[in-house]
Chains A and B, each alone.
Chain A
Amino acid sequence: MKKNENKTSKFICIVLLLCIIAMILVAGTYAKYVSKATGSATATVAKWDVYYNDQQLTYDNSNVNFTLFADDELLYPGKTGTFNFKLQNKSEVAATYGIDFEVNGTENLPIEFSLTGVDGSWTADLSDATGTLPAGQTAATTVTGYWRWNPTNGDEADTLLGVEAANATKNVEVSATLIVEQAQ
């Protein structure tokens, strides 16, 4: 019994001795100056949040309500009207907008448009509306347009159109494409 204990003790001593020798031998390889430091930086993506007439726009809104004429609007000499678009940029980036108007059916109709006010320039081809919207708007930007029956069309032509309209429907159609983009 005692003999076994002695053997075990000797074995442990030898192992410990070998460990110590090994540590001494490799100590030189590990000993050196070492320093480590870290730093980090975080960036947050700005939000994109734009509205047309209080309707939030996503990447591709296929249809929005575009009201230029009232329902069943009748056109006749002396008739005028206005239309408004509200654009609001609640994003964290500035934006630009462009409204591309397309007018159809005015070949024989004396309808004119203006984006520069009733005393501004009038044209049968509604020009594009463009502008900028600053980031974080708390109030909407309103784009106002005007339309009218050309007052210089002449009585004879106006009368002729009225007579023709009694026999065949005559329409004016205006479509608009709105693009709001991040300002560069």
Chain B
Amino acid sequence: MNSNDVNTKKENNNISKLIIFILLITMICMVLVSGTYARYVSTASGSATARVAKWVFNVNDTDIATSNTVEFKLFDTILDTDGSAETDVVKGLIAPGTKGEFTLNLTNASEVKAQYEINYTVTNDNSVPIKYSVDGGTNWTTDLADIVAGDATTLEAGASAAPITIQWEWAFEGNEAKDNELGNLARTTAPTVTVAAEITASQYVEP
């Protein structure tokens, strides 16, 4: 390679660098002055917000979404056979001829449809002859679970279910021998009857 060729190549490189430099400057200028050109310009923005539906299911004013226990005062008010206040039995105890009731008020205060079910458990080791009804006394059973076997019922958002009244009764004219056996047993170890209600509410999901 002679000296002329070397010079020619060197010049070409310089020209290329110059062109790239000019292009770069041009681009920078375009960016800087672009805002000054008049043209149609539209801008828009949009946003969407979704709120989570609340979940509130009240059982007698207790929100079971936040509390896993509810008051179930089935035996708090003990009445005489005729429905008047029981005066022949020591307060808080049951005996033949006593009865009572308790009402569950369920409200779906949620913003979603819900379904609920109530399961009752009766613990009655000494077979105290108490019978129960949840239909106003039309049907009676010794095992609450027989009547309301956990049937799920739906409840629209914000709706309340019809009050559920659980009635119990120990017949005055029943089995005297059995009643006496229980009364005598109570001298030493008082037989007890415990009724538990488990209320489960869940968001209704279309099948």
Contact = CB atoms under 8 A, between A and B. Distances in A.
B134 interface: no
A63 interface: no
A136 B90 contact: yes
17 contacts: A29-B205, A33-B55, A33-B202, A33-B203, A36-B68, A37-B59, A37-B69, A38-B69, A38-B70, A39-B59, A42-B194, A43-B192, A44-B94, A46-B90, A46-B186, A48-B95, A58-B180
Contacts of A47: 183-184, 186-187, 190
A40 B197 contact: yes
Contacts of B172: 182, 184
B95 A34 contact: no
A46 B65 contact: no
Interface of B: 55, 57, 59, 62, 64-65, 67-76, 78, 80-81, 87-90, 92-97, 102, 110, 112, 114, 126, 128, 130, 172, 176-177, 179-187, 190-203, 205
B92 A32 contact: no
B72 A41 contact: yes
A45 B198 contact: no
Interface of A: 29, 32-49, 58-59, 91-94, 135-136, 182-184
Given A34-B200, A39-B197, A135-B89, 6 more contacts: A33-B110, A35-B68, A37-B59, A42-B193, A46-B186, A47-B184
Contacts of A91: 183
Given A33-B202, A136-B90, A184-B81, A46 B197 contact: no
Contacts of B179: 48
Contacts of A92: 89-90, 93, 95, 186
Contact of A37 (B68, B97, B177, B182): B68
A49 B59 CA distance: 40
Q: Closest 6 A-B residue pairs measured CB to CB?
A: A48-B183, A39-B72, A47-B186, A37-B64, A41-B74, A40-B196
Contacts of B112: 33
A82 B178 CA distance: 37
Contacts of A136: 90
B68 A44 contact: no
Given A33-B110, A184-B81, A41 B205 contact: no
A95 B112 CA distance: 55
A182 B183 CA distance: 10
Given A33-B110, A91-B183, A41 B89 contact: no
B93 A46 contact: yes
Contacts of B80: 184
Contact of A45 (B57, B69, B74, B191): B191
A32 B88 contact: no
B138 to A, nearest CB: 22
A8 B105 CA distance: 58
Nearest to A95: B88
Given A35-B55, A35-B65, A40 B72 contact: yes
Contacts of B203: 32-34
A182 B187 CA distance: 15
B159 to A, nearest CB: 16
Contacts of A38: 68-70, 196-199
